[in-house]
């Protein structure tokens, strides 16, 4: 019976690995090979060197990822610290509200914001950084949970009381005690945010902004092999970011 169970588990594991790995490997094979020439970086190099838009839009996306991570971390860290220290009864409500971005489709969010800003500030949505508030919203559920789990692992009240007993003011307690202990959770939430922004296509496309995912979709129409290779490298980079998140979350946290 145990042998049958072991074989069944191995079969399920191999089936799951094949289901996810085969399309991934097929994309890499298609992107990094040419008929009659075998393995080559030529399609990818032609795409990277032949279009200045590649580096421009990659830089735009990295800027958006950085701004989103900073704004999202600042908003959620301050809000969660207040909830954990002053209003713990509101934490279940805040947790429920944090999943609303999963309920509201990005198309509805963009169209609603477009109608709102068109009447009060028409030029707002034409600026690249107008995507930052939208990206903060769609990354909020995962960033919220990463930060919340980091705070639950610490006895924030004891740390604050210890700082006050030593004569430290609130700002000093925040900068020298709370934030250093929350650094792993903040790094993890930021990496999750960056990984999501690197793959976000719908909002940027609807608002007519040229970002890296939009460039990838457009490149696939003219040079599908290069687009497949670039998508493969993007997925590898995203996996490395998520691996960094996992390692950060498993790093032992010791109070400073």
CATH 3.90.420.10 given to domain 54-155+182-249 = no
CB 91 within 8 A of CB 76: no
Q: What's residue 102's pLDDT?
A: 85
Q: Whole-number mean pLDDT of the chain?
A: 83
Model pLDDT for residues 122-148, shown as the tens digit of each residue: 788 888 888 999 999 999 999 999 899
Mean pLDDT of 212-223: 82
**Closest of 222, 186, 232 to residue 81, by C-alpha:** 186
Q: Is the pLDDT of residue 214 over 70?
A: yes
Neighbours of 199 (CB within 10 A): 14
Q: Using the predicted structure, report yes or no on whether residue 255 has a pLDDT greater than 50.
A: no
Is the model's pLDDT at 3 over the cut of 50? yes
Using a 10 angstrom Cβ sphere, with 0-12 exposed, 13-18 middle and 19 or more buried, the burial of residue 79 is middle
Whether the per-residue pLDDT at 68 is higher than 90: the answer is yes
Percent over 90 (pLDDT), the chain: 16
Indicate if the pLDDT at residue 247 is higher than 60: yes
Residues 246-253 have a mean pLDDT of 59
Which pLDDT tens digit goes with each residue over 152-161?
Answer: 888 888 888 8
The 10s digit of each residue's pLDDT in 48-62 is 775 667 788 888 999
Joined tokens for residue 41: 């970086």
């Amino acid at each position: 019976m145990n042998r049958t169970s072991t074989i069944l588990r191995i079969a399920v594991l191999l089936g799951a690995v094949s289901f996810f790995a085969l399309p991934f490997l097929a994309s890499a094979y298609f992107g990094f090979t040419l008929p009659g020439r075998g393995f080559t970086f030529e399609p990818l190099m032609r795409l990277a060197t032949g279009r200045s838009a590649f580096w421009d839009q990659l830089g735009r996306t990295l800027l958006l990822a950085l701004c989103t991570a900073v704004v999202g971390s600042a908003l959620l860290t301050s809000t969660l610290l207040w909830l954990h220290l002053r209003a713990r009864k509101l934490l279940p409500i805040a947790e429920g509200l944090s999943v609303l971005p999963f309920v509201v489709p990005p198309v509805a969010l963009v169209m609603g914001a477009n109608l709102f800003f068109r009447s009060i500030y028409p030029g707002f949505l034409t600026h690249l950084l107008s995507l930052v508030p939208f990206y903060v919203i769609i990354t909020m559920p995962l960033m919220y949970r990463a930060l919340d789990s980091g705070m639950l692992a610490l006895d924030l009240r004891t740390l604050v009381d210890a700082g006050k007993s030593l004569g430290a003011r609130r700002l000093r307690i925040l900068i020298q005690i709370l934030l250093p202990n929350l650094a792993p959770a903040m790094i993890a939430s930021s990496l999750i945010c960056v990984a999501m922004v690197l793959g976000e296509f719908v909002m940027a496309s609807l608002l007519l902004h040229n970002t890296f995912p939009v460039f990838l979709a457009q490149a696939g129409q003219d040079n599908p092999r290069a687009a497949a290779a670039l998508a493969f490298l993007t997925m590898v980079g995203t996996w490395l970011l998520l691996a960094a998140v996992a390692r950060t979350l498993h790093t032992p946290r010791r109070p400073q």
